[in-house]
Amino acid sequence: MMRSRSLLWSFNYAIEGIVYALRTQRNMRIHVAAALLVLGGSLFFRISRLEFIAVLFAIVFVFVAELVNTAVEAAVDVATQSFDPIAKVAKDVAAGAVFVASVNAVVVGYVVFFAPIGTAGEFLLTRVRQTPTHVTIIALLLTSLGVLVGKAITRKGTYMRGGWPSGHTATAAAAATAIAYISESAGIGALAAFIAFLVGQSRVENGAHTWPQVIVGGVLGFLITTAVFQVSWV
């Protein structure tokens, strides 16, 4: 019974360590976001089983390196409160491990996704050539104008920072919506929407906006771009 409880607590401690890294380490959150994007791309492009295993190992390698780096930084901070050259070496080497793992992940991703992304890119370029360029430009301009109007009404923040709605998120959402309409692909649209979400998340993380401001910006960009494309296709 005690052995079972000890095993259970060991899992609990491990999960607490992962949660701590996610809460305190920006790079860990970036790794997780990139992993979700890559896994989504794996499903969309239907890569082979061996390719998926390679991608999965690359992702796990990066996670393990980042967790070890976090542990080393915490241990060094506890051991010394002043500058120590040896402590700097420990932190630099741990960061180097994360860098090597990240480079390995990029190489694996390039090998696995180069061909399918190239095919999807050619299809998207073909659709772009068939769609009037001014439609997308008009959608982005109208979105920017809508953001300016919103900031003028609420009298909070500037276009680049703060206030209602989030200009960066609105523009990113407008671009993602345009990509979805041009490509006519749910998968490509989902990837574009995820990138727009990351833009909004970054605005919240750096304190420039709140989540309601980001959500309003995203909805504004989506609605304006949808209206422009619907009108242009009538």
CATH number at 15 reads 1.10.287.3610
Pick left, alpha or beta for residue 100 (phi over 0 → left; psi -120 to 50 → alpha; otherwise beta). alpha
Q: Rounded distance, CA 128 to CA 182, Å?
A: 6
111's CB contacts (< 8 A; 6+ apart) are 54
Q: CA torsion, points 132, 136, 141, 146, in degrees to nearest 10?
A: 130
> Is 199 domain-assigned?
yes
Give the pLDDT score at 81. Answer: 76
Question: Of 55, 89, 114, which closes a domain?
Answer: 114
pLDDT in tens, 58-117: 999 999 999 999 999 888 888 777 777 888 888 889 999 999 999 999 999 888 888 777
| Triad 100, 45, 132: Cα angle to 5° | 110
* Domain span at 15: 1-114
Shared-domain flag, residues 93 and 25: yes
Pair 161, 54 in one domain: no
How does pLDDT run across 196-221, given as a tens digit for each residue? 888 888 888 877 788 888 888 888 88
4: left (phi over 0), alpha (psi -120 to 50) or beta: alpha
Of residues 122 and 202, the one with the higher pLDDT is 202
Instruction: Check whether residue 38 and residue 99 sit in a common domain.
Output: yes
Same domain for 110 and 7, yes or no, is yes
> What whole-number distance in Å separates Cα of residue 86 and Cα of residue 162?
42
User: Do 2 and 84 sit in the same domain of this protein?
Assistant: yes
Final residue of a structural domain among 55, 80, 114: 114
126 within some domain:
no
Average pLDDT, the chain: 80
Q: Which tokens hold the place of 200?
A: 């909004």
Q: Is residue 54 in some structural domain?
A: yes
Does the reported pTM lie above 0.85? no
Contact 99, 27 (CB under 8 A): no
Do both 92 and 184 map to the same domain? Answer: no
Identify which has the larger pLDDT, 165 or 103: 103
In a domain, 121, yes or no: no
- Asked whether the predicted pLDDT for residue 7 surpasses 60, the reply is yes
Q: Which positions are catalytic?
A: 66
How many domains does one find in the chain? 2
Confidence of residue 186 (pLDDT cuts 50, 70, 90): confident
Residue that is last in its domain, among 114, 142, 168: 114
User: What is the pLDDT averaged over residues 133-154?
Assistant: 75
